[in-house]
Structure 1
């Protein structure tokens, strides 16, 4: 069963794969130099079927973003939203998760190396498609995908290696500086725009590159421009471009939707701009306890990912409970209690799961030792924890309302990467950074979220909190914390990171060995 494969990957294989972290692995792999067959003998002659290669690339990107390691780990586990406490021997994994939380990673960290290789491979594959004389639409989509992947290389690592398709393994790829990569991405998106489909709300329209997706990435690019160019000061012209890009997305029909958790179901909504063909199983099962299951997955969860009390406390509601009717805002979700579990999707709640958990018949769940399955709010230590330590956080639910037979629904491929609420908050931030008041725009979003009162005013700190409340575990928290100057700040079980060197990850050692043109980031 597919679930069993995930269990092995989630709980067993990580320990095997990450064993190499404890020592330095300097072996150069083919992926480090990003060379394809077409570029190694006699020059590049073009791909036989660029459209088919484009489809393969979409699937490759979806696979890269579906796991709990690599991209998701770098973007989310390094932030104040997630912590994977070691429970007995579970989730120890030679310390790789703890290193991410405490910002003590090194250039040999496996997840850093894997993310680097995957993103750069995707950039090269997109370039192959672009240089194979494809149709105008295939060309435009390939340029978007190249920009999509290069954006994350630039954002995570700064420098971006770039190999031309006709360069063999004897040629070391040139290296784009962060500002050069920024311009490269901007050019790709600008060039692609005219030949991309417009894009419109609906699951049939949001799994491919569109004008709406390109406008979203352009908005991200300009919103972070002062980080990427090193000025540290937002430029009003860039902020206006953010506003213009968001307005262009809204003109295509996208808007904030009422009904928060319904957005993460594989059904039509007005918010999703781009979803990847990524299985969402890891977003579901890596947080749930072993004894929490669903009809199509009786094996239960993997009992790993938890959230921090301080992050939970930024939401409206009872600070020590999240049962139905605890006065919580919609985005914080709920835990079905003994009287409501049978009415609420299999007994598993939404959002933040704290305290006693219940089965679908209303009976109190137990841990593997027979005690109460009650998730604690506080996590006292990174190690030495019990099975119930830490609140759990879940947006994608194992119950799929479109699958009435409960057949493999938790492995549906519908992971949201770009969402209109994010764009809306980017516009609010751009207005704020131009000296305006973002309060009205923020409250426009909050008005669409049930039981979420308007804010009297919005400061920079409050806007960062609001982005966290709206976009938690959606791949953007690290980017936000860096832009707001808070990525090096202390949070629970993490001291001040020391200096801003951690705002960039180190270039993997294998990449430095395979390409002498690369220079390690400062501080590593």
Structure 2
């Protein structure tokens, strides 16, 4: 969506910007510096929204970048290749693809700092709320911040495991690791405590902030993965959380799959349960099109910037999309490319040598008009560096994802699509999976009927039978590029598999967790590194 969102809760008073911090979990005693005091501040919803702003702007910071990289580039769903050295970047992307990362990996560090800065920002803002007079606004917005803090903790616990539970604001204690079970229980308790005081409303006024729907969807995620997190199945609880959402009738499947992720997505899309609002100018951080698109796609999509041509998908994942009527196929660019009219070829004027730098003929400078064709399979010129070359054939390597459709109104590499974290189709698939894994449903729904609701929207034939592997493949098609792939692969026991055209072979089980960054261990000697690192 557009500018209306930042004006609602993202355009903050300058004094409140000081609530933000760029540090990790060890910077716990930074003062709240503001001209506002309890006597003249935080009495209206608008003031509580403004004071909460840094919590949400922090979420924007890396949710679509470093955190997304951890969740997607470490899987069979996405890869960033080098192009004659471009995007090699010290092998930081390649480490994620090959499962060879270490505690010095940049994305491991940045995602940790982002998540724990979010937790610290929640703590500091909650401390500010405590000094205000009791009332309905304070109760609701305190519940919203507790839910946001639980969300940050969930993302960090899922990625890093035995993370510290950060003390309340004002403490100077260096937090030690809590067990994953302790963090699980903390998240569960916080969500349950916040739930009654969250808004039950789903509207433009609550969009981008946690509601009761958000808390229930996050509880469903927590319970669905409980066997991974704490070694205990909690599938019946996952079903119960999903049932609350389903029975509320506040959310439904969008008629058009790609509307959920469009530039204009927002509160009018009833499928969205919780999204991180972005705006190309006022709330930046979503650069999906910048990384996914070939440079020549500037003309195809009428863009005002030149894309970087970086992120692709592995052919094994793209092979899951085999049904020609599946509307979810529209999120992929593959094969010969045409302009928006669907007829005019995307042509690139080059030379024989420019088309293929390996060409050795004497007429290497002869002009060539190349019809851009994106290959499915990746052909590496230097496999050790994931290098596919940077000539026109190299640039055309790989299938691209445009689920977050390119924003042609953007004058920068940022775009205005909101990043969708929780949505109704996911709820249906989570409940179906929990049923297949043995959870009990008092409503008597079947996993098959739930999955077929999703397939019906995708315009593909209904399944006549269902097992966990079939559901996994359907979930793969539905949830591509949404930041849950790593979590799903681990839960389905596929994390240690071979993929990436046979290049990813590492089956070390300790890599189900990322390491605590080396910088954090230096800053906080109370922390202990995850096993295996």
Aligned counterparts, 1:281-360, within 5 A = 281-293=286-298, 297-317=303-323, 327-333=324-330, 351-360=331-340
Q: CA deviation at 1:131?
A: 3.1
Q: CA deviation at 1:296?
A: 6.3
Distance in structure 1 (CA, Å) of the matches to 2:239 and 2:530 = 32
Query: In the alignment, does 2:523 pair up with 1:523?
Result: no
Aligned length: 452
- In structure 2, the residue matched to 1:31 is 24
- In structure 1, the residue matched to 2:13 is none
Distance in structure 2 (CA, Å) of the matches to 1:157 and 1:190 = 23
Cα separation, partners in 2 of 1:299 and 1:166, compared to 1, 3 Å? closer
Cα separation, partners in 2 of 1:172 and 1:281, compared to 1, 3 Å? closer
CA-to-partner distance for each residue in 1:366-386, whole Å, 9 max, x for gaps? 347352211001013321330
Which residue of 430, 437, 440 maps to 1:426? 430
Distance in structure 1 (CA, Å) of the matches to 2:86 and 2:30 = 41
Query: In the alignment, does 2:131 pair up with 1:123?
Result: no
Worse overlay, 285-294 or 474-483: 285-294
- In structure 2, the residue matched to 1:277 is 277
Distance in structure 2 (CA, Å) of the matches to 1:39 and 1:432 = 49
Query: In the alignment, does 2:263 pair up with 1:260?
Result: no
- In structure 2, the residue matched to 1:454 is 462
Q: With structure 2 as the length reference, what TM-score do the two structures score?
A: 0.79
Cα separation, partners in 2 of 1:315 and 1:187, compared to 1, 3 Å? same
Which residue of 151, 157, 174 maps to 1:148? 151
Cα separation, partners in 2 of 1:359 and 1:410, compared to 1, 3 Å? farther
Distance in structure 2 (CA, Å) of the matches to 1:217 and 1:175 = 23
Cα separation, partners in 2 of 1:408 and 1:301, compared to 1, 3 Å? closer
Q: CA deviation at 1:32?
A: 5.2
Note if contact 1:291-1:299 (Cα within 8 Å) is conserved in structure 2. Answer: no
Note if contact 1:81-1:311 (Cα within 8 Å) is conserved in structure 2. Answer: yes
Aligned counterparts, 1:40-79, within 5 A = 51=48, 52-67=50-65, 70-79=66-75
Distance in structure 2 (CA, Å) of the matches to 1:139 and 1:442 = 36
Aligned counterparts, 1:98-117, within 5 A = 98-117=94-113
Distance in structure 1 (CA, Å) of the matches to 2:491 and 2:504 = 19
Cα separation, partners in 2 of 1:39 and 1:264, compared to 1, 3 Å? closer
- In structure 2, the residue matched to 1:473 is 481
Q: CA deviation at 1:456?
A: 2.5
- In structure 2, the residue matched to 1:397 is 405
Query: In the alignment, does 2:522 pair up with 1:513?
Result: yes
Q: CA deviation at 1:176?
A: 1.7
Note if contact 1:33-1:515 (Cα within 8 Å) is conserved in structure 2. Answer: yes
Distance in structure 2 (CA, Å) of the matches to 1:206 and 1:140 = 15
Q: CA deviation at 1:289?
A: 0.8
Larger of the two Rg values belongs to structure: 2
Q: With structure 1 as the length reference, what TM-score do the two structures score?
A: 0.81
CA-to-partner distance for each residue in 1:41-92, whole Å, 9 max, x for gaps? xxxx99976833311211111222133xx10100111111111121222221
CA-to-partner distance for each residue in 1:224-258, whole Å, 9 max, x for gaps? 11111135xx2xxx212111111211233212222
Distance in structure 1 (CA, Å) of the matches to 2:251 and 2:397 = 39
Q: CA deviation at 1:422?
A: 0.4
Unaligned runs of 5+ in 2: 1-21, 133-137, 279-283, 351-368, 381-385, 441-445
Q: CA deviation at 1:37?
A: 2.1
- In structure 2, the residue matched to 1:246 is 242
Note if contact 2:162-2:178 (Cα within 8 Å) is conserved in structure 1. Answer: yes
- In structure 2, the residue matched to 1:228 is 229
Distance in structure 1 (CA, Å) of the matches to 2:170 and 2:286 = 39
Distance in structure 2 (CA, Å) of the matches to 1:35 and 1:364 = 56
Unaligned runs of 5+ in 1: 1-28, 318-326, 334-350
Distance in structure 1 (CA, Å) of the matches to 2:412 and 2:295 = 18
Distance in structure 1 (CA, Å) of the matches to 2:39 and 2:482 = 36
Note if contact 2:151-2:218 (Cα within 8 Å) is conserved in structure 1. Answer: yes
Secondary structure of residue in 2 paired with 1:371: strand
Cα RMSD over matched residues?
Answer: 2.6
CA-to-partner distance for each residue in 1:254-297, whole Å, 9 max, x for gaps? 12222111121224222100111235741122111111126763
- In structure 1, the residue matched to 2:355 is none
Which residue of 160, 163, 166 maps to 1:157? 160
Q: CA deviation at 1:507?
A: 0.5
Query: In the alignment, does 2:351 pair up with 1:364?
Result: no
Distance in structure 2 (CA, Å) of the matches to 1:409 and 1:508 = 29
Worse overlay, 155-164 or 77-86: 155-164
Q: CA deviation at 1:217?
A: 0.3
Secondary structure of residue in 2 paired with 1:384: coil
Distance in structure 2 (CA, Å) of the matches to 1:208 and 1:47 = 24
Q: CA deviation at 1:455?
A: 1.8
Q: CA deviation at 1:312?
A: 1.4
Note if contact 2:60-2:285 (Cα within 8 Å) is conserved in structure 1. Answer: no
Query: In the alignment, does 2:97 pair up with 1:94?
Result: no
Worse overlay, 205-214 or 297-306: 297-306
